[in-house]
Structure 1
Amino acid sequence: MDDLSPSDLKAILHSKRANLYYLEYCRVMQKDGRVLYLTEADKENLYYNIPIANTTVLLLGNGTSITQAAVRMLTQAGVLIGFCGGGGSPLYSGSAVEWFTPQSEYRPTEYLQGWVGFWFDDARRLQAARKFQQSRIVYMLEVWQKDRDLKLEGFDIQDQTIQQALDKFHTRTDQAEKPADLLLTEAQLTKILYKYAAEATGQSGFTRKHQSIDKANDFLNHGNYLAYGLAACCLWVLGIPHGFAVMHGKTRRGALVFDVADLIKDALVLPWAFICAKEGATEQEFRQQVLQAFTDHKALDFMFDTVKAVALQDLSPEEVEVLGL
């Protein structure tokens, strides 16, 4: 391991990496050229290896600590490190540490240059936001159409309620004159999807409450933060700062992370939150299910493809080329 260079640890593209870890009540350290986490059992200490070259994000929850040497190796491998609360949410903000992003002066520049090329123009930024909204629906249609498990749970993209909601969504998205209009349209669609998912899983009367303690709301919060981790990884790799949002406001800290995470939340996090709540799953079981869904449907690949397409194409109002997804 002493002969490995940082470039060797980055041989696997971030969009192809398989692992996102959430750890709690353990100590993360470097030992014999590897990154391990240590848990204390009754009579022995147990060490587990973290395959850092195949990992995108490491979330550290309650009761965790990490050594400087481990941070050095994780950053060399390009792994984002986040400190969070129990169950993976929330990410701490304000004066506490939120993200440690690996430092590198050799990330690509063309995506940032393409992004700022349109971002300061209100009309072109709105067009980029509109493409984000259109892309999330394309992805949801693809996922719900081919995922057999979702179909068995009653998630039918051909359902009349869904089709009517999507027709209205597309009309209002095309007519939007400012990002606030797009956010309102998004909220209206998501509200319908919540109701549809709740009825499909026998949980009628559901109300979305971020501070609620019922399982469906808890799983939605948890899954959303996992999506934020993937979005932060995508933006870091492409070298686009989180402040260059197209939907969630030009002055909101980290807003572009929310924009990118929204690409996959309706398609994957929303249905599995309700399905796992119906089945009485534990947080760990839900997390494993959502991460498997991210892998099965190449969620991180989709994020990269969408952000790269928006960054590199001409986003003038006359441009009509559909995102190459």
Structure 2
Amino acid sequence: MEQLNSSDLKAILHSKRANVYYLEYCRVMQKDGRVLYLTEAKSENQYWNIPIANTTVIMLGTGTSITQAAMRMLASAGVLVGFCGGGGTPLFMGCEIEWITPQSEYRPTEYMQGWMQFWFDDQKRLEVAKQFQLARIEFIRKVWDKDRDLKAEGFYLDDLDVQNALDGFEKKIPNLNKVGDLLLAEATTTKQLYKIAATRTGSKDFSRNPEQGDLANDFLNHGNYLAYGLAATTLWVLGIPHGFAVMHGKTRRGALVFDIADLIKDAVVLPYAFISAKEKMSEQEFRSQVLQKFTEHRCLDFMFDQVKAVTMSLKYFK
């Protein structure tokens, strides 16, 4: 096998990378300049290559280990690593609360500096939170209008209950004067979307409870953590620490990850969690479908665009 050096890797912009990995019962290692994971079979051990130059996040689940050499190569390629439980939740350990991040001091500084220009002003921080929520609504409209698989399951943008949920939230946003009020309106809208998804998929008596243990709740947990991985990647690449949240509160160090993940969660994770539960998919099948939709709808691109637009927009800094 030809020896590769990290310097030989072709750089792919994080916003264009396609892969998020969840691994379990394997050993991640470096071999001949490549990062591989080893699975143990009855008759033989099998090696599988991880294309790190096209990967954003690796989540290490039950029964995994990783070598120092593999971590060094992942860091050189800008891949975030998180240790988690079975099915991708919960996250157990990370430097930036959610993730072990590559130690690079050569990331851009202008986005962090732009973020700081508004963040200490309560009113400006609220305006940014409102902008993110408006962007979230527009992304739901875009995805649900475009996605043929969602339409096949009865998710139509022009249905009255969908319009009422999105339009009602959109009209409330300009008149809200506190982050707490915005959080309450957001939670109400998400509950409406849960009801819509449950109705379309015949999931009777659904209630959102991360500890419930039913398939829909489990898939929502799992899909949300995949979205958190994309959000953490976005913030790391742009050099913005996770503690500078605009909506989920300044008391939680990782809260900005939740703010950014919210941009895409309802558009993609929410409907497909219910659809996958209805079809009794395995975790692996659900994960593959959600990651495919993240790529199809360019979710990571959208996150980068929204964060960069806020940090570079002069209207917040007057």
Instruction: Return the TM-score normalized by structure 1.
Output: 0.94
State the AA in 2 paired with 1:150.
L
Partner of 1:321: none
Correspondences of 1:74-113 after superposition (within 5 Å): 74-92=74-92, 98-113=98-113
Matched, 1:117 2:117: yes
Q: Which runs of 5+ in 2 are unaligned?
A: none
Distance 1:300 1:169 in 2: 24
> Structure 1 residues 77, 316: CA separation in 2 closer, same or farther (over 3 Å shift)?
closer
What is the percent sequence identity of the aligned residues? 68
TM-score of the superposition, structure 2-length normalised?
Answer: 0.96
**How far did residue 96 of structure 1 move?**
12
RMSD (CA atoms): 1.8
Cα pair distance change 1:40/1:289, threshold 3 Å: same
d(CA) in 1 for partners of 2:6 and 2:59? 24
CA distance, structure 1, for counterparts of residue 180 and residue 313 of structure 2: 24
Corresponding residue number in structure 2 for 1:323: none
- Unmatched tracts of structure 1, length 5 or more: 319-325
Amino acid at match of 2:289: Q
- Aligned twin of 1:205: 205
Moved more, 297-306 or 8-17: 8-17
Is 1:223 the equivalent of 2:232?
no
Query: Structure 1 segments of 4 or more deviating over 6 A?
Result: 94-97
Matched-pair contact (CA < 8 Å) for 1:124–1:315:
no
Q: For residue 260 of structure 2, what is the aligned residue in structure 1?
A: 260
Secondary structure at 2:117's aligned position in 1? helix
Task: Report the Cα offset of residue 315 of structure 1.
Answer: 3.8
Within 2, Cα distance between the matches of 1:5 and 1:175? 51
How many pairs were matched up? 317
The 1-side partners of 2:100 and 2:93 are apart by 12
How far residue 179 of structure 1 moved from its aligned partner, in angstroms, is 1.0
TM-aligned CA deviation for residue 314 of structure 1: 2.1
Matching residue of 2:239:
239
Q: Distance in 2 between matches of 1:4 and 1:103?
A: 18
Partner residue in 1 for 2:191:
191
Corresponding residue of 1:303: 303
CA contact (8 A) 1:195 1:204 kept: no
Q: Distance in 1 between matches of 2:94 and 2:177?
A: 32
Q: What is the rounded CA distance, in whole Å, between the counterparts of 1:251 and 1:31 in structure 2?
A: 42
Using the TM superposition, give the Cα deviation of residue 153 of structure 1 relative to its aligned residue in structure 2, in angstroms: 0.3
> Partners in 1 of 2:96 and 2:43 — Cα distance?
35
